[in-house]
Amino acid sequence: MSDSELDVDAFEDIPVEERPEKVQREPGRKFAYTKLSASMMKTWSLCKRKFHQSYIDGIKQPAQANFTLGTAVHYALEMANSSLMKNPRELNPMEVASYIRLFVNIASKEFAPNPELFDEGTDMLKRELQSGHISHDKIIGIEDEFDIVTPEGVRIYGFMDKLVEVDSNTIKIVDYKTSRTAMSYDDARSDYQIAMYDLAVALKFPQYENRILELRYLRNGESVTVRRTQEEMYRFKLLLVGVDAAIKEYLANIKEAPAGTINDFCNWCSYNKSCPEYVDRVNTFLPEAPSTHALTDESFVETWEKVTSIIKAAEQWKDQLKIWAVERLNASPDTRIFGKEREIFPLTTTTKDYDVSVVGKLVPLDDLLGTRTGEPLVKINKKKLETYLSNKGDRKLTKKVDEACIVKVNAPQIRIKNKK
C-alpha cells in the first residue's frame, strides 16, 4: 500500500460525521487520488473545504472521545466475531467478560478521564455479546476489505465489519454503529456507505443473489435493515462515475481551500474553528424580520437560506453546550451550573413501557386492536414493520400489507432546492 492509500478509511466503520479526519499521510506530501471510499464521497458531497483540508492539506486532527470509544468497541467485537467465525458457538460468561476486558484495556489507555465512556462502551458490548444476534450468525468475513474496479472503471475501496451467509442465496453485510441516533430507513437506503457496500458485495460475491444490509446500533441493540434495488445500484454506479471525475478535475486544478458549505455536521467538523463560513454563522445574530412586502422573490429565498443556516448553527451550538453541560454538572458538587439569576440543573424523567406479550394475554384482542371501540390500544411501528417485510422478502405478503396501509396527507412543508 502506498502512503496515500493508507488514508482515512482504515476507520470506515465509524460514521464520517462522528469522527475526526484521520489522515496518516505526512502533511505536505501530495495527495495521490487512486480510489474512492464512501467516507471520501460523503466528505466531497458535504463540503469541498472539508475535503480539501482533510485529503489535500492532510491536516491531522486529535482523536475525539466518541471516536476512540467507537474504535475500542469495534476492536473488541472484531475479536469476538473472528473467534466465532472459526468456531461458531454461544459465548459463555467468561468469554463475554474477556472481550469486555479487552475493550477496557484499550479504553483505559484512550479515555481514562471519561469514566462514563467506560460504562457506555461496556454496556453496548455486553448487550451485543450476550445477544443471540452475534452467536447465531454464519460468519464468512470480518473486517472484509474490498478494493475493486467497477465495470464503469471507478476504483472503490473500504472495509465491511461483518459478512454473514443467511442462506446459499443470501448474504448479509453488518455495519456496527456506536452513534446515538439511528438512521431512518429512507436515509439508510440512500446512504453512500450502504450503497457502496451493496455494490462491493455484488461484485465480490456474485454467487449471492440477495443482499441484506444491516446497520446494527449497539447503544440500543436495534437494527435498521435495507435491501437495495437494481435500479438504485445502477444510479449509484452513475454517481460514482460523476464523483470520481469531479474529484479528478478538482485535483487537476487545485488552488486554495474553497469556501465551506454549512451542513448538519459542521459542529463535529475538525476544521470548524478555522472555517470562515462556520465562524461567521455562529457569530451571526438573527436579522430583524423584514416585512414580507419589502422582499422580492429573490431576497425572500436569500433570507430563507440565511435564517435556516443560522438556526442550524445555533442548534449545533446547543448540542455542543449540552455535552459540555453534562461534563460541568458531573464535576459540580451540587450538580448545578449557576448563572447570575438562573441556573442549569439535570432533570431525570421516566417513561413507561408495557410488555406487549403480557398485555396481549390480559386485554381481549378486540380491545387491543380497537375493532369494537374504534380506538386501537397498540400502534404498528412503521420502521420495524418495513424492516420485517424487507427481511422476509415475501412479495405477496408485502403487497397485502401495503394494501392495508392508510395514507394520510400531512400539511405541506416548505422545502428549498436548486433551480432546474
Residues near ligand SF4 (CB under 6 A) are: 47, 49-50, 260-263, 266, 269, 271-272, 275, 277-278
CB of 8 or CB of 129, closer to ligand SF4: 8
- Nearest approach in angstroms of CB 286 to ligand SF4 is 20
Provide the 3-class DSSP secondary structure of residue 197: helix
- Nearest approach in angstroms of CB 112 to ligand SF4 is 29
- Nearest approach in angstroms of CB 273 to ligand SF4 is 9
Q: How far is residue 129's CA from residue 279's CA, in Å, rounded to a whole number?
A: 43
Question: Which residues neighbour 376 within 8 Å (Cβ) at sequence distance 6 or greater?
Answer: 368, 369, 370
**Structure-block grid coordinates of residue 357:** 406479550
Provide the 3-class DSSP secondary structure of residue 226: strand
CB of 10 or CB of 279, closer to ligand SF4: 279
Residue with CB nearest ligand SF4? 260
- Nearest approach in angstroms of CB 6 to ligand SF4 is 23
Contact between residue 139 and residue 164 where contact means Cβ atoms under 8 Å apart: yes
CB of 57 or CB of 95, closer to ligand SF4: 57
| CA angle centred on 166, ends 163 and 172, rounded to 5° | 35
- Nearest approach in angstroms of CB 287 to ligand SF4 is 21
- Nearest approach in angstroms of CB 327 to ligand SF4 is 22
CB of 70 or CB of 260, closer to ligand SF4: 260
Contact between residue 23 and residue 60 where contact means Cβ atoms under 8 Å apart: yes
CB of 39 or CB of 272, closer to ligand SF4: 272
- Nearest approach in angstroms of CB 329 to ligand SF4 is 27
Closest C-alpha among 70, 282, 53 to residue 161: 70
Q: How far is residue 418's CA from residue 70's CA, in Å, rounded to a whole number?
A: 36
Q: According to DSSP H, which parts of 174-288 are helical?
A: 185-190, 192-204, 230-252, 276-282
Counting every residue written for the chain, the total comes to 420
**Structure-block grid coordinates of residue 167:** 442462506
CB of 270 or CB of 387, closer to ligand SF4: 270
CB of 273 or CB of 342, closer to ligand SF4: 273
- Nearest approach in angstroms of CB 277 to ligand SF4 is 5
Strand order in the sheet with 210-217: 139-149, 155-167, 170-177, 210-217, 222-226
CB of 311 or CB of 326, closer to ligand SF4: 311
Q: How far is residue 146's CA from residue 163's CA, in Å, rounded to a whole number?
A: 12
